[in-house]
Structure 1
Amino acid sequence: MMKTAMERIGIVGAGMTGATVSSLLRAECADSKLLVLDKGRGVGGRMSTSRCVEAKSSSVDLGAQYISITEAYREKHQRFHNELISAGVLKNLTCEIEGERNQDSSVTHHVAPEGVSSIVKHYLNQSGAELHTSQHVTRVDIKGDKVELMSDSGVSYQCDSVVLTMPVPQILQLQGSIAEILNSKPDVKRNLEDVSYSSRFAAGLFYNPSTNLNYSWAGKYITGNPCVRFVSIENKKRNLTDSELGPSVVVHTSVPFSLEHLEEDKNAIVPTILQHLRDVLPELPEPTEIKGHKWRFSQVHKAYVNSPGCVILNERPLIILAGDGFTHSNMDGCIESAISTTEAMLKVLASKSNI
């Protein structure tokens, strides 16, 4: 554990990167106050798990579906993987994913029985961070030796250091001093503007316990349909056997379909998704409840140049930009960014303590 000055560290984004950063910082800076803000009503970011309101059904993963670990990361991030597996947060994926593109036998696949957001919750719980959801940060200002985070509801938070983990286009939309700093660093700003993401719609379908979905697969990649790209039977994917919960299904659209309809409301596009789903799975029964979601920023298509893990935008006070936009879009990409961010922050904090 490194001895550093008492700090209030603000982390914007309660997704995988933000949660892992908060956990790593807690281990290294036990006395620091950690604050995590997220614009959503819950945590998880693109590792989002949604529950039904009325149907007594299992939850759905509207974002990441399962965790694939390459041989290189299995060695590099072994302590993270082992911890999640030991805690029961991750288990081996034992069901069939039909049409899986990655046939590399060295890649292992894992599933989160409680939904992928449970991975994020695991690290947030470890950190003991002060968490505020429904706080959409729209302004970042430097006030003396502090950084002020301002939400769209007018609530402000004073921090000594800040880590911004939201999608890069949202960083570029921030108002306040941060916009002036970006304009003063044209190379950094240009590299940020070059980061791009794919977009997707998702729909969660919930069924009552009496519903039976008889498919040999738990997940299926769809080809030949202009809308539907992936379908998962969530309870089967997670190997859940609770007879008191009904099945649930999640549908992800293709990137071309999503780009074509990107400016449409998520609920307005759900009937179109369901119509295409009936073409693919005509025997699928009508759900009791449906939830739609739009991922304007889904997977990173083009990352920040050279994938540095994070970028120090301002050193005093410290502002770090992080997230999968600085690596790549999967759990290990987020862990990689979190490690880089923590190392960069500890280096700056240590130098402050020595002044």
Structure 2
Amino acid sequence: MMIKTAMERIGIVGAGMTGATVASLLRADYPGSNLVVLDKGRGVGGRMSTSRSMKANSFSVDLGAQYISISEPYKERHGRFHKELITAGVLTPLRSDIEGNKSRDPTITHHVAPQGVSSIVKHFLNQSGAELHTSEQIKQVDVKDDKVELTTESGERYQFDSVVLTMPVPQILQLQGTIADIINSKPEIKQKLEQVSYSARFAVGLFYNPNTKLSYSWGGKYIPEDPCIRFVAIENIKRGLNNPKLGPSVVVHTNVPFGLEHLEQEKNVMVPMILQHLRDVLPELPEPDEIKGHKWRFSQVHKAYEGGPGCVVLNEKPLIMLAGDAFSRSTMDGCIESALCTKDALQKVLSTKSNI
């Protein structure tokens, strides 16, 4: 039997993998709820971001996660999610070579997203039917009359019966309003939040016109010795696509030490330096028609929330929850794990309230 409560308007901050999966799960369990997803970016995906060219008619590039690796334990726990994505064609087996891949576990399977890794997030967001607001950066979270009020940088206000925050933990700690008092009143949670840390890196996408030919057989390549570049992917080869109407595209990811060293530099300042290193690594690579740079201040989680609980209930009345890969692992399945934990914790709170 469906639990009926007054908690019908639920806000989810962050349109990444965790936020999208939470929205999808809540829609299935609470079909009458008004679900609203807010994200500071212009598009969805979070760190599973895909970018398209504005000039060249070429394949898109994955600026965040490159391919999806699924371990045996997650195959058992999350098989229904994997099957759904594969059946829908959102995920397909990785068939191209990834040079330098250190994974030797034969039970781990690797997949790619033919339409870009953000299509995984879009799949779950579309499934949720949630109301989506992009370019909305939350700066303040307040508790007012048993509601949670979110205030954006632009001054917009949204009120909810419950809120799930899936943004990086340092951004949560910077929020103003009642939430700061709540965190300060719970020193154990605050200490664990302050101990969470992230790696940082830059990504650069290179786009080519359809007449360009790249003479590579591999889809991805790890670069272990370069002081700047960690990974290069030829997107169309990596995804196993061949469309003569689209030109090839390349994405470059820097290593973590380089990212941390230059973290406070603007991406446009760093792109020429990164491209010079790329020329040293792949001297035969032609000049692209378009270049896009991106800085990941919060890339993969370096140190997760102690105990990896999946999510944290920060406040019960009204409900404020913290979720995301910082509370599990920085993988697609880590985000699914966090989303499932969030759904279970929310159901527990709702069930308790319904029995009062």
Which category describes the TM-score, using the shorter chain as reference length?
A: over 0.9
Which residue pairs with 1:180 in the alignment? 181
Determine the structure 1 residue equivalent to 2:140.
139
- Per-residue CA deviation, residues 199-242 of structure 1 (Å, 9 max, x unaligned), is 01000000000000011211000021100100000011011111
User: What is the TM-score when the length of structure 2 is the normalising length?
Assistant: 0.99
Match of 1:2?
Answer: 2
After superposition, what is the alpha-carbon deviation per residue over 1:80-134, rounded to whole angstroms, capped at 9, x for unaligned?
0000000000000000000001111110000000000000000000000000000
Query: CA separation in 2, counterparts of 1:281 and 1:18?
Result: 37
- For 1:33-91, what per-residue CA distance to the aligned partner results, in whole angstroms no more than 9, with x for missing partners? 00000000000000000000010010000000000000110111000000000000000
The aligned counterpart of 1:313 is 314
2:55 corresponds in structure 1 to 54
Distance 2:102 2:258 in 1: 20
Q: Give me the TM-score of the superposition, normalised by structure 1.
A: 0.99
Kindly indicate whether residue 213 of structure 2 is the aligned counterpart of residue 212 of structure 1.
yes
Give the Cα separation in 1 of the matches to 2:240 and 2:47: 22
Q: CA deviation at 1:144?
A: 1.3
**SS in structure 2 of the partner of residue 258 of structure 1:** helix
Counterparts of 2:62 and 2:324, CA distance in 1: 20
Question: What secondary structure, in the 3-state scheme, does the structure 2 residue paired with 1:208 have?
Answer: coil
Q: C-alpha offsets along residues 146-204 of structure 1, whole Å, 9 cap, x if unaligned? A: 00011100000000000000000100000000000000001100000000110010000
1:304-350, CA deviations, whole angstroms, 9 ceiling, x for partnerless residues? 01100000000000000000000010000000000000000011112
Identity %: 72
**Aligned-partner residue type, residue 4 of structure 1:** K
2:303 aligned partner, one-letter code = K
In structure 1, what is the Cα distance between the partners aligned to 2:282 and 2:37?
41
The aligned residue for residue 165 of structure 2 is 164
Which whole-Å CA distance do the structure 2 matches of 1:191 and 1:85 have between them?
A: 36
Letter in structure 2 aligned against 1:186: P
Distance in structure 2 (CA, Å) of the matches to 1:230 and 1:103:
18
Partner SS state of residue 184, structure 2: helix
SS of residue in 1 equivalent to 2:163:
strand
1:134-283 paired onto structure 2 within 5 Å: 134-283=135-284
How far is 1:282 from its partner?
A: 0.2
For 1:349 and 1:271, locate their aligned partners in 2 and report how far apart those are by CA, in whole Å: 53
How far apart are residue 249 of structure 1 and its match? 0.2
The equivalent of 1:84 in structure 2 is 85
Instruction: Supply the RMSD in Å over aligned alpha carbons.
Output: 0.7
- The reply to whether residue 120 of structure 1 matches residue 121 of structure 2 is yes
Per-residue deviation, 1:354: 2.4
Structure 1 residues 248-290: Cα deviation after superposition (integer angstroms, max 9, x where no partner): 0000001011111000001110000000000000000000000
Unaligned runs of 5+ in 1: none
Q: Residue 57 of structure 2 aligns to a residue in which SS?
A: coil
Shift, 1:4, TM fit = 2.5
CA distance in 2, matches of 1:181, 1:144: 16
Code of the residue aligned with 2:83 in structure 1: it is: N
User: For 1:121, what is the secondary structure of its paired residue?
Assistant: helix
Question: What code does the residue aligned with 1:151 have?
Answer: T
The amino acid that maps onto 2:98 is: I
Query: What amino acid is aligned across from residue 2 of structure 1 in structure 2?
Result: M
Rounded to whole Å, the distance in 2 between the matches of 1:140 and 1:298 is 24
Work out the CA distance in 2 between the residues paired with 1:2 and 1:173. 37
List runs of 5+ in structure 2 lacking aligned partners: none
Distance 2:321 2:110 in 1: 31
Which residue of the partner structure matches residue 289 of structure 2? Answer: 288
- Is 1:21 the counterpart of 2:22? The answer is yes
Task: Give the AA of the match of 2:17.
Answer: M
User: How far apart, CA to CA, are the structure 2 residues paired with 1:233 and 1:204?
Assistant: 10
For 1:16, give the aligned amino acid.
M
Residue matched to 1:11: 12
Amino acid at match of 1:208: N
Residue of structure 2 equivalent to 1:35? 36
Amino acid at match of 1:146: K
Code of the residue aligned with 1:96 in structure 2: it is D
What code does the residue aligned with 2:266 have? D
